[in-house]
Amino acid sequence: MTEQTPTPEALEYRTEVKQLLDILAHSLYTDREIFLRELISNASDALNRIQFELLTNQDVVDANAELAIHVAADEEAKTITITDRGIGMNRDELVQNLGTIAHSGAKNFMQNAASDQARLDEIIGQFGVGFYSAFMVAAEVTVTSRSYRLDEQAWRWSSQGDSQFTLAPAEKAERGTTIVIRLKDDAAEFANSWRLEQIIKKHSDYVSFPIYLKQSDGGEKVVNRQTALWRQGPAQVKPEEYEEFYKQLTFDSEPPLAHIHLVTDAPVNMRALLFVPTQRDRGLFQMNSDHGLRLYSRKILIQQRNRDLLPEYLRFVEGVVDSEDLPLNVSREMVQSNPVLRQLKRALSNRVFRELKTVAEQNEEKFATFWREFGVFVKEGVASDPANHEHLIELLRFHTTQAAGADEWVSLKQYAGRMDAEQKSIYYVLGDDLKSVARSPHLDYFRAHEIEVLYLTDPIDGFMTTMLREYEGKPLQNVDDAGLELPKAAAKEKAEDETKVSIEDFDRLLARFQTVLGERITSVRESKTLVNSPCRLVSPENSFDRDLQRIRRLTEQDYEIPKKLLEVNRAHPLVTNLAYMLANHTDETLIDAAIEQLFDNALLLEGIHPNPADMVERIQRLMEAAVGAK
């Protein structure tokens, strides 16, 4: 008997494939170019498998063949060819791997996909269908493969994405798999070497095996870097290599402020390389204003910008994360929410906190640079993430009434360490900027008694203080609190009783303040703390939203000035002169204008004046009166 050559066979897929392939090709993937990533990833897996086999068995087809991937485009024929020298497949393996999209549950897959699109990401993880992404761009896919086993016949698998595929014997001398994609008319752009090179560099740059791309002159060149810096041990990487990688990753011309190289296998497998930039605004060449870390799985890019691996307030951190433990959906475009992701997030966040704390302790100048650029993000974390308060509060820095200048920053630990024994609270003042907050009338008493006060000038500060209630058992208190209990420090009182206006005249002036300002204030009273300022506005006790007034003024279209209590300094020259004018019935309209202006000045210093331009006419009138008096 003579051995007969097998004849081609037409086989039905083992499930309702026409519908299933339509879902895969048109609904599952959002970016058509990832078909090349999936096929290269499969080729890399095949090369890994033969590499493992060769460790113990040299009796294979092409034992000395280079472990590599070859990609070629033919613009005229509109085809793409991808070849690997991997493990290869025989007839049964082709049927198993390419002819069986799902061993079970295919009907459930389609029913769920059709009836509940929101659950698609939850159910597709059990189906190995990355290969079928080729049908997004392919009119026909042909796979020719020869197994590594010496006695196996080569076979050719072919399909047009309908309900059938064909299997036929093939002539192939080399071990491995060759995939030929005949492109659809609307996908002809991919039959271009330059386009393919860009896709490979974007998604498969760190595949361990060389990827050769055929050039227009007929030659080939390796287009992937292969070596992933983050998968090396930190001891193997030079400082200049970190800097070069950061600049390639971010297009930032400046070196990073700090880097974190994390390699761990427990409790979760992770290789990560994170960077803290030197500056927030990296200028014209910052290619993407979006944020998030690059997510890889076995050096294959899964997501260009993943926002779930760090808290939102750490969005300034750049870098890559590679984990083999992270379950992915079939398209690799969305990471399923699961405990592993939470472990990754916790581990990465803790390392960022630890690195920033180290910088703060070891290099004050470098940390001051960080704080000027990114301190507002730390404050956002304090306002939004109580679970990490312990880490974040250690990083907080402030200007204060006792800081030497704009370049000096004070931590809460430093502040608490130099508090007087009688001081029970940590005091802060809110303002729009350093210059205006330094002029705040609320600081009169504190300056006179050398009590340090924190300056809070960022818009986010109002939110932060609502969540940051105390530090090491010491409550934080706003100095505009009407019920503030001040420490009994040694008084530096001036002998000023003789300079104060009489109680009778002063009470008459207070009544006039109340009449002129009416319901815009809750009440008016003599101040016990003012020294150099004529008056101040203080928040009524239990006014819980006072720290948010600046935010409300900026964000609310119909913002209304909050009613506050007006305190007046009985010893201030301006106040004594007004009381004298009122007692002697001198131009009461001018007195009223002065009262209005004092109120507006107080609103301005509080940062809550709704429209300062309204003051112009009154200021001009007061100037005319002052000039006329001269």
Write the CATH number for 594.
Answer: 1.20.120.790
Phi, psi of 260 (to 5 degrees): -130, 115
Residue 542 is predicted with a pLDDT of 66
One domain for residues 212 and 240: no
Q: Could you read off the pLDDT of 591-629 as tens digits, one per residue?
A: 999 999 999 999 888 877 878 888 998 889 889 888 876
Q: Measure the CA–CA gap between 286 and 251, rounded to whole angstroms.
A: 6
User: In whole numbers, what is the pLDDT of the chain averaged over residues?
Assistant: 84
Residue 98 is predicted with a pLDDT of 82
Q: Is 492 within the bounds of a domain?
A: no
Q: Could you read off the pLDDT of 26-44 as tens digits, one per residue?
A: 655 567 888 898 899 889 9
Q: Is 624 within the bounds of a domain?
A: yes
Look at residue 13 and tell me whether its pLDDT is greater than 70: no
Range of the domain at 211: 9-222
One domain for residues 206 and 58: yes
CATH of residue 410's domain is: 3.40.50.11260
Instruction: Report the run of H or E that residue 9 belongs to, with start and end.
Output: strand 9-12
Q: Is 323 within the bounds of a domain?
A: yes
Residue 20 is predicted with a pLDDT of 65
Q: Is 189 within the bounds of a domain?
A: yes
Residue 291 is predicted with a pLDDT of 86
One domain for residues 218 and 243: no
Q: Is 489 within the bounds of a domain?
A: no
Evaluate whether 179 touches 76 at the Cβ level (below 8 Å).
no
Residue 288: burial class (beta carbons within 10 Å; 0-12, 13-18, 19+): exposed
Which pLDDT band holds residue 397 (cuts at 50, 70, 90)?
very high
Q: Measure the CA–CA gap between 410 and 419, rounded to whole angstroms.
A: 13
Look at residue 536 and tell me whether its pLDDT is greater than 60: yes
- Return the closest-CA partner of residue 109 out of 95, 122, 100: 122
Evaluate whether 313 touches 356 at the Cβ level (below 8 Å).
no
One domain for residues 27 and 156: yes
One domain for residues 340 and 377: no
Residue 488 is predicted with a pLDDT of 61
Torsion of the alpha carbons at 417, 421, 423 and 429, rounded to the nearest 10: -30
Query: Where is average pLDDT lowest: 103-112, 378-387, 444-453, 580-589?
Result: 103-112
Place of tokens 């042909």: 142
One domain for residues 345 and 249: yes
Residue 540 is predicted with a pLDDT of 81
Q: Could you read off the pLDDT of 109-127 as tens digits, one per residue?
A: 445 555 544 333 333 333 3
What residues contact 273, with CB distance under 8 A and at least 6 apart? 229, 230, 242, 245, 259, 260, 261, 262, 319, 320
Q: Measure the CA–CA gap between 199 and 213, rounded to whole angstroms.
A: 12
Q: Is 490 within the bounds of a domain?
A: no
Residue 91 is predicted with a pLDDT of 93
CATH of residue 344's domain is: 3.30.230.80
One domain for residues 255 and 150: no
Query: Where is average pLDDT lowest: 88-92, 151-155, 325-329?
Result: 325-329
Which pLDDT band holds residue 135 (cuts at 50, 70, 90)?
confident
Residue 16 is predicted with a pLDDT of 55
Evaluate whether 228 touches 241 at the Cβ level (below 8 Å).
no
Evaluate whether 535 touches 569 at the Cβ level (below 8 Å).
yes
Answer positive or negative: Cα dihedral of 343, 348, 351, 353: negative
Evaluate whether 377 touches 313 at the Cβ level (below 8 Å).
yes
Question: Whole-model pTM?
Answer: 0.73
Domain finish residue from 176, 202, 222: 222
134: DSSP letter: G
Average pLDDT over every residue of 208-236 = 91
Q: Could you read off the pLDDT of 283-339 as tens digits, one per residue?
A: 544 444 578 999 888 787 878 888 889 999 999 999 999 988 875 554 444 555 667
One domain for residues 66 and 178: yes
- Return the closest-CA partner of residue 206 out of 230, 233, 173: 230
Tokens of 153: 């016949």
Residue 570 is predicted with a pLDDT of 94
CB atoms within 10 A of CB 573: 10
Q: Is 2 within the bounds of a domain?
A: no
State how many domains the chain has.
4
Domain finish residue from 201, 222, 243: 222
Residue 330 is predicted with a pLDDT of 40
Evaluate whether 454 touches 523 at the Cβ level (below 8 Å).
no
One domain for residues 527 and 469: no
301 pairs with which residues across the strands?
296
One domain for residues 119 and 188: yes
One domain for residues 300 and 216: no
Of residues 363 and 489, which shows the higher confidence score?
363
DSSP states of 394-431: TT--BEETT-SSTT--B-HHHHHHT--TT--SEEEEE-
One domain for residues 343 and 396: no
Average pLDDT over every residue of 516-537 = 93
CATH of residue 136's domain is: 3.30.565.10
Q: Which amino acid is at 173?
A: A
Domain finish residue from 197, 222, 247: 222
Q: Is 1 within the bounds of a domain?
A: no
